[in-house]
Structure 1
Amino acid sequence: MTETMLVFDRLAKRRQRERAARIGGDHDFLRAAVAERLLDRLDDIRRSFPLALVQGCSADWLWPRLNGRGQIETLISCDSIAGGGLHVVGDEEFLPFAQGKFDLVIALLNLHWVNDLPGSLIQIRRALKPDGLFLGAMFGGATLNELRQAWLAAEAELEGGVSPRISPMAETLDGAALLQRAGFALPVADGERLTVTYGDAFRLMRDLRGMGETNAALGRRKAVTRRATLFRMAELYQQRFADADGRIPATFEIVTLTGWHPHESQQKPLRPGTAAYRLASALDTVEHRLGDKARPKD
């Protein structure tokens, strides 16, 4: 594996998630909604997955949400914190599994915290059997954009500088390229934005702590946030984004990744020049060679 640029404090992230597990409560509503969307994609695939691996949650947490789907026979989870069911405590950056073990791997809102995303995807692909399926969901670049803007404005106004309050995240357009780079066949990436509304910014941040999704960037400010800056951030958030009822939106961009371990039975793209019909004929237009000046059809 090539040298990796360290962006996230993995120890801090593990501690945040352990704290979130102790807090409990109903903070997992977003993870549950994303899990449901991810699992719905299995309904379109007519095959079974005898042995499946899930990252980002415990097997006991995900199993009831399979809603009686008979495709998965055995579910093992691997997460950085302890969990229930068939569970392995391990790091997403160093998967402790043999090559070609699983029929299905699900990564649920965990990959946006790894330092080496291409490397983690390669390890997932290696853990899959030939023609095994990978389904992943992670937060994308538009996530918490409103909170990011409010923090930047408050710090610039009161402290004369800014710090990375919201962690960097991948863009949807990068997803398919990352899958292809990791060696997946038939790579697909798509994005969806979910909006959750809150009474104020403090309730949003309480939910983020409960989800284990607070900042873990190595460059984050370690000192305690000044009270004046915190309250100014909340005030600016309200002023700039509140709706007519005074509630503020929090955007979560969900990047969904789908890829298969390569297998000879899978569809292959046609070689250039072997198509039965020309695209120009289907579009009722004139075909031009590369470099020719385009002109309307007579």
Structure 2
Amino acid sequence: MSSPSRERPPTIDPVAAARWHAAAPAVSPWLHEEVARRMQERLQWLRQAPASWCHWDAVRGGLQAHALVSARYPKARCQVQESALHCARVAHQALRRPWWNPARWTAASPQFGMPADASVQMLWANMALHTASDPLALIAQWQRALGVDGCLMFSCLGPDSLRELHALHAAMGWPPAGHAFTDMHDWGDMLLQAGFADPVMDMERITLTFATPERLVQELRELGRNLHPQRFAALRGRRWHAQFHQALSERLADPAQGGRLALTFEIIYGHAFKPVLRARVDARSTIALQDLRAMLHQGDRPPAPARR
């Protein structure tokens, strides 16, 4: 079991994280859409199409990606859960099909709101975990929403992300450029702690290049905020911003990219399954009703073969 320090990233300010979650732009950043496109290719690993699935925070995670997953599973019932109110409004407008849309004859409109316990067979959560101030609690929510043998598919930023920006801030003697991101092995530990089985993790690095410091900063503002408790607490002045842009131009220019400014993003992909509950029989035990039903339904079936 992971130590308590693993349960909550020690460099995330919960108040700042909640403020960002409530005010993040209600759009799907390009990087999120690209990561989701790559993640949906991993759905080929699933041996059986889910009859129902939940898209967690679809607006920030990727509305184009929602269309890709929906096209892969056109007969599956879809539940969309937006944990930020301003994004929920956008999701309703973007995803609910009007009565005259011919697509309503081939696939139902998604349902909106928190999925009931054990109600979906797949939960899709793209680029949401690395800004959660209590990630173990969030993973536990996902685990409760999944039925037995349901699959969690998620992605997030890894610790090698924005390494150039962190090095720049350190060289200039400035406070941290951002909070630390969790390693994929620690995510695997948290998945096991939350009750998942067979976690599979992998990662890749994506390098984005920008023509100007202004465009780079704009992209970062769309992707997130600095949630480090020791971040600079006040507003930066015009002089500092000019110095910052100059430092970006000098230190992030990559000759291999024609002098464009380069930033590295480490992308972690993970999937795991909710196993059959194995109840420990004590003199007095309490078992959730949906888990009891799942146990009775499973009966004495042999365990499923290992997934690859």
**Under TM normalisation by the shorter chain, which class is it?**
0.7 to 0.9
Question: In the TM superposition, what is the alpha-carbon distance from 1:238 to its structure 2 partner?
Answer: 2.8
Q: What's the counterpart of residue 35 of structure 2?
A: 34
The structure whose Rg is larger is: 1
Deviations 1:45-85 (A, max 9, x none): 23121211112324855432237313661222212232233
Change (3 A) 1:29 1:250: same
Q: Is the 8 A contact 1:49 1:71 kept in 2?
A: no
**For residues 15 and 185 of structure 1, do their structure 2 counterparts lie closer, same or farther at Cα, with a shift above 3 Å needed?**
closer
- Structure 2 residue 159 is matched with structure 1 residue 141: yes
For residues 67 and 196 of structure 1, do their structure 2 counterparts lie closer, same or farther at Cα, with a shift above 3 Å needed? farther
Please say if residues 175 and 188 of structure 1, whose CA atoms lie closer than 8 Å, have aligned partners that are also in contact: no
User: Does structure 1 conserve the Cα–Cα contact (< 8 Å) formed by 2:152 and 2:272?
Assistant: yes
| C-alpha distance in structure 1 between counterparts of 2:251 and 2:220, whole Å | 21
Q: Whole-Å Cα distance in 2 between the matches of residues 200 and 214 of structure 1?
A: 20
2:190 pairs, out of 152, 157, 178, with 178
**Aligned counterpart, 2:285:** none
2: CA distance between counterparts of 1:101 and 1:260?
A: 14
- The 1:74–1:217 alpha-carbon spacing in structure 2 relative to 1, beyond 3 Å, is farther
Q: Which residue, out of 102, 108, 113, partners 2:120?
A: 102
**What is the total number of aligned residue pairs between the two structures?**
249
Letter in 2 for 1:265: P
Q: Using the TM superposition, give the Cα deviation of residue 193 of structure 1 relative to its aligned residue in structure 2, in angstroms.
A: 0.7
Q: Hey, what's the Cα distance between the residues in 2 that align with 1:60 and 1:28?
A: 10
Rounded to whole Å, the distance in 2 between the matches of 1:74 and 1:60 is: 17
Q: Where in structure 2 are there 5+ consecutive unaligned residues?
A: 96-109, 277-301
TM-score, normalised relative to structure 1: 0.74
Say whether residues 1:16 and 2:29 are aligned partners: no
Alpha-carbon shift at residue 116 of structure 1 (Å)? 1.4
**2:226 is matched by which residue type in structure 1?**
N
Task: Give aligned-pair identity as a percent.
Answer: 24
Change (3 A) 1:106 1:198: same
TM-score normalised by the chain length of structure 2: 0.72
SS where residue 141 of structure 1 aligns?
Answer: coil
Name 2:304's counterpart in structure 1.
266
CA distance 1:116–1:102, shift in 2 (3 Å): same
Residue 150 of structure 2 corresponds to residue 129 of structure 1: no
Cα distance in 1 for partners of 2:217, 2:243 equals: 15
* CA 1:87–1:215: 2 relative to 1, 3 Å: farther
The one of 201, 222, 225 aligned to 1:189? 201
Q: Which amino acid aligns with 1:170?
A: T
Q: Using the TM superposition, name which of 60-69 and 45-54 deviates more.
A: 60-69
Q: Deviations over 1:248-267 (max 9, x none)?
A: 11111111111000036334
